[in-house]
Structure 1
Amino acid sequence: MKKRFLRQKALMLGVATATLLACAQASAWTLKEASAPYSGTTINAIFLDRPGYAAAEKLIPQFEKETGIKVKWDVIPYESTREKEVLNFASGGAQDIVLVDVVWLGEFASNKWLVPISKFTGDPKLADPNLNLKDFFPILLDSFGTWNKVIYGLPFDNYSGLLFYNKCMLKDAGFSEPPKTWDELLNTYAPKLTNPVKNQYAFALQSRRGETQSADSFMRVLWPNGGSLLDAKFKANLLSPQSQEGLEYRQKLMKYMPPGIVDFDHAEAVNALAQGQVAMITEWSAFYPTLTDPTKSKIGSCLGVATEPRGAAGLKPALGGFSLAVNAKSSAKKQAASWLFIQWITSEQMAKPYLEAGGVPARMSLYKDPAIEQKYPFVKPMVESWQGGVPDYRPRFPEWPAISEVIGEWGTKMMLGQVSVKDGAQTIDTKVDAILDKAGYYDGKKPLLK
């Protein structure tokens, strides 16, 4: 009897001890305590003039109050961002938080400009036990933050291409729903939604020379038709029948787009829909807050959102976005402070506040809430797009910036009719193969895929 009592007492003591240890472990890490050694530190970042960054700016005071870490940012145009960051890396400029576009990751990581997050996740003083990397959409963490199987950044400003449309304009033209396919958009919807006399057009495809031309315009018409920039052997593929069909499609669509479409960037395309000049645009999910802002948009309750149209190859929407990473050339103190901010702004805890402030979080758990889907109409088509998207929508290797310049130049010439689609594609293919050959992809010096 006495032995049984002692065994029960020991068992209860063990359970109590385990419970106390679990509670101690659960409460062992707090952002406030983790950041105490870095209080008073100022970290520098580059932001864009887009809703996701404005959302972060609204939340940053909360982080600063909790940690004592000061976050300073410069807002610059997207077109200048990569160049400014590369100059910072080369000169040791003041940039601690690195904004990494999906197509800059290979270049930044290969040059050892970024710190692998394992440096921080392996440090119990800096690593939030609730980080939960598995909660990020795999396509976003892999595409925006992972290079050669090493994670360098966490998804921050996340995009899927969506079809935004004016329900009222479509209804007036006799349509009760948006086009489900690109073929429908061109042949059924576009003629009825275009009236140049009234300065009204069916569609606007942002196509300004530069990354907007190469990614948002050129690549957008390749994938749905089964085309691609490169084939399985890593050779240029724009003369394939599928790629040619996609590029020819864009030329046919031009007569239903506003004059000067080659000068449209994101702001111009979004504004054209917001002001009633066009009925439809394919744009990044991050612009939903702009289109619902009554101070910037007249569309109001007429706004509709759907997945991008399907092509012969199915649903192949645009994929884009950024991660936040830590500059390998910053001091150890600034690196730690930067990581604490990145970990916080992309956390599960901050996902809902970030969404409500106008950002687009990459956390799967957030979008499982039916109330979120009901409140934000763009969520359902965006999640569907991320689940079936194209991870290599744009090549992420270091040579992309050079290739993007080639496409920007010759893609624009195609749209303007200065060169035929076939001849323009041939020129791009030749130049792309030359860039990749010089980089060593065809002589075994570099692996074909990352």
Structure 2
Amino acid sequence: MPMTRTTVALSAAVTALLGAQAQAQTWSLATAAAPYKGTTVSAIFLDRPGYKAAAQLIPQFEKETGIKIKFEVVPYESTNQRYVLDFTSGGGADLVLSDVVWIGQFADAGWMVPLDKFTKDPKLADPALNLKGFFPVLLNSFGTWNGKVYGLPFDNYSGLMYYNKCTLKAAGFSGPPKTWDELLKVYGPKLTGNGKYAFALQSRRGETQSADSFMRTLWLAGGSLIDAKTFQPNLSSAASQKGLKFRQDLMKYMPPGVVDQDHNEVVNAFNQGTVPMITEWSAFYPTITDPKQSKIGPGCLGVTTEPLGSAGLKPALGGFSLGVNSNSDAKKQAAAYLFIQWITSEKNAKAYVQAGGVSGRQAVYKDPAIRSKYLYVDPMVKSWSAGTAVPNFRPRFAEWPQISQIVAENGTKIMLGQLSTAVGAKVIDDQVKAILEKAGYYSGKKAKLQ
């Protein structure tokens, strides 16, 4: 048979396919890790369930690879500052834990290695990696910057409503509020009194105030920090003002010290029965269901999506990716990538979930056993679906850490009524605009919302 252009192309395609199949059959973690045996990879972890879950799985990785994972637990509120100090001095942990709003800062500064350095290396890249297997909103929000993947979704969050069915039933409610307005006007008055409060919204000054509290109430009313079209500060808009006023009004149905409460304090208040409803991250489900930490009676826990706002379902979105430090040497970078690829893999997703983590992999949540065992799964998957999740729940640009400090300081004052919503909005808007103007967003030197 004569060799035509078509047969040559077909032969090349078959050869490539067989080569890919051979690679898939012969690639193994142990073989890939052999050159890096004895390497120690350093990491920063948080004191949250997803990291405790990873810690349970790490010994298996170390046994299979001979690579040691050494992690240090750091408080969330000081983690960004710690990274910046380490990176600018030419050091830092080999594994980079990047919050959804840090990735622009880290990538723009050149502190993270684009992962295609490793995914294009057949010796390191697991053929089963399957980037499309992650929820798109997670990979795009936590791991991608300017079209390049810098990290894989690791500790993944959706805002959910946790509620005590038994407490609500005793007060005459058949379920949780369907809307934020209903929570404020109906549930709030009936469930508050005698040292008990209807609801708690974690609002400690810092990223918890600016993201978990401030931004959540903007989005539920259809407001935003920045106008997506004009890129001008947007807190003085009618929708943003409505959201900030709603939060002020909700204060009378929340514990008086809520502006000093972080996630752990709010979850503990729920677990101890001080409040029957909270909106918290999916990642705190293991803490809420731990009988050693919770007094919620059997069958009393309910989990659903966040209530609907005037803008519909706009649940909080958060989470972290794991990437590689560009300051680390080549061996540590490769070893770090192998761990990232392994801990976020589809193969290990079920074990990670069962250990208390929240995987970013779509396939694991199709498992009937996982869906029936973990009450957070269905509302979380709904919250991460296309058209519901808000990728820029917090604006994803490198200047966010500066802006977050401004929002946190003044957001607390607005929440307490020390500043009116109008005055507080103007204070924040003016400072935010100055930062963005200096950075070059209005002159066209920088891209806008990612």
Q: Is the 8 A contact 1:292 1:300 kept in 2?
A: no
Compute the TM-score of the two structures, normalised by the length of structure 1.
0.94
Aligned to 2:412: 412
Equivalent AA in structure 1 for residue 147 of structure 2:
K
Q: CA deviation at 1:448?
A: 2.1
Change (3 A) 1:395 1:94: closer
Q: Which SS does the other structure have where 1:202 is aligned? A: coil
Shift of residue 34 of structure 1? 0.4
Aligned-residue offset at 1:299: 1.1
Secondary structure at the counterpart of residue 154 of structure 1:
strand
Query: 1:49 maps to which residue?
Result: 47
For 2:27 and 2:203, the matched residues in 1 are separated by: 48
Q: Does the alignment pair 1:328 with 2:326?
A: yes
Q: Which residue of 2 aligns with 1:9?
A: none
Unaligned runs of 5+ in 1: 1-16
For residue 245 of structure 2, what is the aligned residue in structure 1?
Answer: 248
TM-score normalised over the length of structure 2: 0.94
> What is the match of residue 426 of structure 2?
426
- Counterparts of residues 106-255 of structure 1 (less than 5 Å): 106-195=104-193, 197=194, 199-231=195-227, 232-255=229-252
What residue identity is the alignment partner of 1:249?
A: F
Deviations 1:160-185 (A, max 9, x none): 00001111110011111111110111
Which is further off, 175-184 or 128-137? 175-184
1-structure distance, mates of 2:16, 2:425 = 67
Q: Which residue of 2 aligns with 1:307?
A: 305
**Which residue of 2 is the match for residue 277 of structure 1?**
274
Q: CA deviation at 1:273?
A: 0.2
Displacement of 1:218: 0.3
1:23/1:317 CA distance change after superposition, 3 Å: closer
Partner of 1:330, secondary structure, is coil
Offset, 1:416: 1.6
Q: Partners in 1 of 2:38 and 2:327 — Cα distance?
A: 20
Structure 2 counterpart of 1:165, which letter? Answer: Y
Matched residue count? 432
Note the alpha carbon deviations across 1:225-252, whole angstroms, 9 max, x for none: 1111111211100111100001000011
8 Å CA contact 2:23–2:127 kept in 1: the answer is no
Q: What SS does the aligned partner of 1:162 have? A: strand
Query: Does the aligned pair in 2 maintain the 1:234–1:448 contact within 8 Å?
Result: yes
CA deviation vs aligned residue, 1:187-210 (integer Å, no higher than 9, x gap): 111111111x2x110000011111
**Percent of residue pairs identical:** 69
Q: Which residue of 1 aligns with 2:295?
A: 298
2: distance between equivalents of 1:239 and 1:20? 60
Deviation at 1:22, TM superposition (A): 7.3
Shift of residue 303, structure 1, vs aligned partner: 1.3
CA distance in 2, matches of 1:22, 1:318: 40
- 1:51–1:287 Cα contact (<8 Å) kept: yes
Instruction: Give the alignment partner of residue 86 of structure 2, picking from 73, 85, 88.
Output: 88
Report what 1:261 is aligned to: 258
Which of 283, 286, 302 is the matching residue for 1:286?
Answer: 283
The 1:434/1:416 distance shift into structure 2, 3 A limit, reads same
1:3-41 superposed Cα distances (whole Å, 9 cap, x missing partner): xxxxxxxxxxxxxx9999776433210000000000000
> What amino acid does structure 1 have at the position aligned with 2:448?
L
Distance 2:88 2:289 in 1: 41
Residue deviations 1:35-78 (CA, integer Å, cap 9, x gap): 00000000000000000000000000000000000000000100
3-state DSSP of counterpart to 2:318: strand
What is the 5 A alignment of 1:337-348? 337-348=335-346
Alignment partners' CA distance in 1, 2:217 and 2:341: 36
| Alignment match of 2:375 (pick from 374, 377, 385) | 377
Q: 1:245-272 CA distances to partner (integer Å, 9 max, x unpaired)?
A: 0100001110000111110110111000
> C-alpha distance in 1, partners of 2:448/2:178?
35
Instruction: Please identify, of 63-72 and 17-26, the stretch whose mean Cα deviation from structure 2 is larger.
Output: 17-26
CA distance in 1, matches of 2:398, 2:134: 24
Q: What's the counterpart of residue 100 of structure 2?
A: 102
**2:6 corresponding residue in structure 1:** none
**CA shift at 1:327, angstroms?**
0.4
In structure 2, how many angstroms separate the alpha carbons of the residues matched to 1:411 and 1:226?
18
Q: 1:235 to 1:58 in 2, by over 3 A?
A: same
CA deviations 1:366-417 (Å, max 9, x no partner) are 1112221111010000000011210000011011011100110101111122
1:294-323 deviation digits (Å, cap 9, x = unpaired)? 111111431110000001110000000000
On the 8 A contact 1:266/1:283 being kept in 2, the answer is yes
Conservation of the 8 A alpha-carbon contact between 1:294 and 1:300: no
Q: What is the CA distance between 1:224 and its match in structure 2?
A: 1.4
Q: Output the amino acid matched with 2:162.
A: F
In the TM superposition, what whole-angstrom CA distance separates every residue of 1:268-290 from its partner, at most 9, and x where no partner exists? 11000000000100000000000
Match of 1:396 in 2: 396
**Which whole-Å CA distance do the structure 2 matches of 1:348 and 1:21 have between them?**
23
| Contact 1:135–1:365 (Cα < 8 Å) also in 2 | yes
Contact 1:53–1:359 at 8 Å: present in 2 too?
Answer: yes
Other structure's SS at 1:278 match: coil
Whichever residue aligns with residue 418 of structure 1, its letter is: Q
The runs of 5 or more residues in structure 2 that have no matched partner are 1-14
Note if contact 1:40-1:68 (Cα within 8 Å) is conserved in structure 2. Answer: yes
**Deviation of the 1:445 alpha carbon:** 1.6
Partner amino acid, structure 1, of 2:37: S
